[in-house]
């Protein structure tokens, strides 16, 4: 293989991979090379631009560690995460839609009982969250596991707080709960607020250069798992948020937008006497049975 030129280099690279014994890897890499080369031809990529792209990816790597996942942010802001989520979660229209996982999920969150306060000191207006998990047949799904996580009123998740700070040491506004025998759940937390995705790194610079903002509309994350059903990774979004139509990671679905109701001081849904204003929000999640597709 000599004297490769700009017309035959794509075929040469593909031929070089032809002995790969992993069929899926060969298929994926062949397509990737075809699309990368087409892109470079399409925009007539210059050497300076190629070098700038390499430097950018190097920066993305340098800032990434176990607390900061800049590659996920890059995928999210380019719409790749939402594309992969959408094409892998096709289900009947009645089922709750999936959206991006995001970089702030933490496995093995502390377990809470229904009715408990999961905020654990995270700052924000009190909010009482309730709902039900059901199947397509309408029946409640008992003992479903719900992972819930959200940011505080300043827009920070516990894992973003400075190392050694209180919120860093103990999880805040993050919990694992279980639905009761009727598929119902309820807990106390804080009001979800809009926040910018981390923009002090190369992805933030990219957004800035593209005239884009880093904001996500206020939301509450759920990861719901139950025997006999497909897992559901989703959020509920706060109605009327100013970023619902310009989410930096393209994750909003109309079916996931909900009213958070404001209440003056008084008695909360669980009977707690509240001497400050509070919010309530309710949502019914519909899971897809395992093996069913749209």
Residue numbers at the binding site for ligand BEZ (CB under 6 A): 73, 76, 100, 102-104, 197, 216, 249
- Of 103 and 202, the one with the shorter C-beta distance to ligand BEZ is 103
Measure Cα distances from 33 to 13, 16, 26, 55 in Å: 8, 11, 10, 20
Contact 109, 149 (CB under 8 A): yes
73 binds, among Fe ion, ligand BEZ, none (CB under 5 to 8 A by kind): ligand BEZ
Q: Considering the complex, what minimum distance in angstroms separates the CB of residue 2 from ligand BEZ? A: 46
- From the list 217, 147, 216, 142, the residue with the least C-alpha distance to 176 is 147
- Of 104 and 222, the one with the shorter C-beta distance to ligand BEZ is 104
204 binds, among ligand BEZ, Fe ion, none (CB under 5 to 8 A by kind): none
Residue 70 burial by Cβ neighbours in a 10 Å radius (0-12, 13-18, 19+): buried
- Of 102 and 204, the one with the shorter C-beta distance to Fe ion is 102
247 binds, among ligand BEZ, Fe ion, none (CB under 5 to 8 A by kind): none
User: Helix (H, G, I), strand (E, B), or coil: what is residue 174?
Assistant: strand
Count of helices and strands (H, E) across the chain: 7, 13
User: Helix (H, G, I), strand (E, B), or coil: what is residue 205?
Assistant: helix
Q: Considering the complex, what minimum distance in angstroms separates the CB of residue 78 from Fe ion? A: 18
Measured between alpha carbons, how far is 206 from 271 in angstroms, rounded to an integer? 48
249 binds, among ligand BEZ, Fe ion, none (CB under 5 to 8 A by kind): ligand BEZ
Q: E-assigned strands of 152-218?
A: 174-178, 184-190, 195-196, 215-216
76 binds, among Fe ion, ligand BEZ, none (CB under 5 to 8 A by kind): ligand BEZ
User: 246 — phi, psi (to 5°)?
Assistant: -145, 35
- From the list 166, 107, 131, 148, the residue with the least C-alpha distance to 258 is 131
Closest CB to ligand BEZ belongs to which residue? 102
- Of 215 and 278, the one with the shorter C-beta distance to ligand BEZ is 215
100 binds, among ligand BEZ, Fe ion, none (CB under 5 to 8 A by kind): ligand BEZ
- Of 144 and 249, the one with the shorter C-beta distance to ligand BEZ is 249
- From the list 89, 87, 83, 86, the residue with the least C-alpha distance to 230 is 89
Provide the binding-site residues for Fe ion, judged by CB under 5 A. Answer: 102
- Of 56 and 71, the one with the shorter C-beta distance to ligand BEZ is 71
Q: Considering the complex, what minimum distance in angstroms separates the CB of residue 102 from Fe ion? A: 5
Q: Considering the complex, what minimum distance in angstroms separates the CB of residue 140 from ligand BEZ? A: 27
């Amino acid at each position: 293989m000599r004297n490769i030129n700009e017309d035959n280099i794509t075929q040469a690279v593909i031929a070089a991979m032809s002995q790969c014994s992993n069929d899926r890897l060969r298929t994926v890499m062949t397509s990737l090379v075809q699309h990368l080369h087409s892109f470079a031809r399409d925009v007539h990529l210059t050497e300076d631009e190629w070098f700038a792209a390499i430097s950018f990816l190097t920066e993305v790597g340098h800032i990434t560690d176990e607390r900061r996942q800049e590659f996920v942010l890059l995928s999210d802001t380019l719409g790749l995460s939402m594309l992969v989520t959408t094409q892998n979660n096709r289900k009947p229209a009645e089922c709750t839609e999936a959206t991006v996982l995001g970089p702030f999920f933490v496995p093995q969150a502390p377990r809470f009982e229904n009715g408990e306060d999961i905020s654990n000191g995270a700052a924000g207006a009190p909010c009482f969250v309730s709902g039900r998990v059901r199947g397509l047949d309408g029946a409640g799904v008992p003992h479903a596991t719900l992972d819930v996580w959200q940011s505080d009123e300043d827009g920070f998740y516990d894992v973003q707080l400075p190392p050694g700070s209180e919120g860093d040491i103990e999880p805040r506004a993050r919990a694992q709960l279980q639905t009761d025998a009727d598929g119902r759940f309820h807990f106390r937390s804080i009001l979800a607020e809009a926040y910018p995705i981390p923009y002090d790194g190369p992805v933030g610079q990219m957004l800035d250069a593209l005239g884009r903002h880093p904001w996500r509309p206020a939301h509450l994350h759920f990861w719901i798992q139950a025997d006999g059903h497909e897992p559901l990774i989703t959020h509920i979004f706060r109605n009327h948020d100013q970023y619902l139509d310009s989410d930096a990671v393209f994750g909003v679905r109309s079916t996931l937008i909900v009213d958070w109701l404001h209440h003056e001081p008084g008695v909360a849904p669980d009977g707690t006497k509240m001497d400050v204003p509070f919010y309530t929000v309710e949502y019914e999640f519909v899971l897809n049975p395992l093996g069913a597709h749209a």
